[in-house]
Structure 1
């Protein structure tokens, strides 16, 4: 039963060495991937923020939805252009 005097054969040493190499390769690759992800997230530019709609656009949208009538739209539009001229 105990042919090799409880020792490990050459294949056992080969398997153990291969397992150790595989373990360290996976560990180093995992660290490299984590570092790459951390660095790439930091270098990515932020997306541009959309500009808020101008007051005239909001007024036009309210008129289009029927929230205000044409007289109120014209009155408010004249007031907006009088206070803050576009340029």
Structure 2
């Protein structure tokens, strides 16, 4: 007796399984891409009030670009220590 041929998945069943598989893999790929982007996002440098003041002084023309860069590098170097 081979009655199992009579209880197979119909055409709509195959369509539903195929659509479900495509949606499943689309979801997996989307999650992987979003996770990859989130982990490779560069860390943002937070500006300090001193940097904002320097930027404003440059914009007002109080200091030139060379002076701005020199002072900005001094700020990023950290505090000076006295021996």
Q: What TM-score comes out, normalization by structure 2 length? A: 0.49
Higher alpha-carbon Rg: 1
Q: What TM-score comes out, normalization by structure 1 length? A: 0.47
